[in-house]
Amino acid sequence: MLDEDKVRHVAKLARIELKDEEVKKFTGQLSGVFEYMDILNEVDVSKVKETSQVTGLSNVMERDELVPSQSTREELTSCSELPIDSKQVRVLNIIK
């Protein structure tokens, strides 16, 4: 079982300020979590295959390839409703 000093120590490491009532509350809650973990440690999982995810999905990785654009700068900038200045789209200034 955790004591209040250990909860205060963990809170200090996490840079969390706790009031005395919160320390008492979390002492009981965290002790309950650790007690439940002790129960789970009693279960024999030696024949259970390790999993990192259970959906069967996997990441699709493709090689990055540089593909030349078929569009010209003028064609791309002509799609913009914003004003064009020196072949570039002028956007609003958001940093003042």
pLDDT tens-digit series, residues 4-54: 999 999 999 999 999 999 999 999 999 999 999 999 999 999 998 888 778
Indicate the pLDDT class of residue 72, thresholds 50, 70 and 90: confident
> Where are the extended beta strands (E) located within the chain?
84-85, 88-89
d(Cα 81, Cα 75) in Å, to the nearest integer?
13
Rg value, the chain, Cα: 29
Q: How many CA atoms lie within 13 A of 68 on its CB side?
A: 2
Indicate the pLDDT class of residue 95, thresholds 50, 70 and 90: confident
Indicate the pLDDT class of residue 66, thresholds 50, 70 and 90: confident
Taking a C-beta distance cutoff of 8 angstroms, is the pair 84, 71 a contact? no
d(Cα 93, Cα 29) in Å, to the nearest integer?
50
Tokens of 82: 């914003």
Report all structural domains of the chain as residue ranges with CATH numbers, in order of start. Answer: 4-41 (1.10.20)
> What is the reported pTM?
0.46
pLDDT score, position 79: 85
Q: Is the pLDDT of residue 96 over 80?
A: no
pLDDT score, position 90: 87
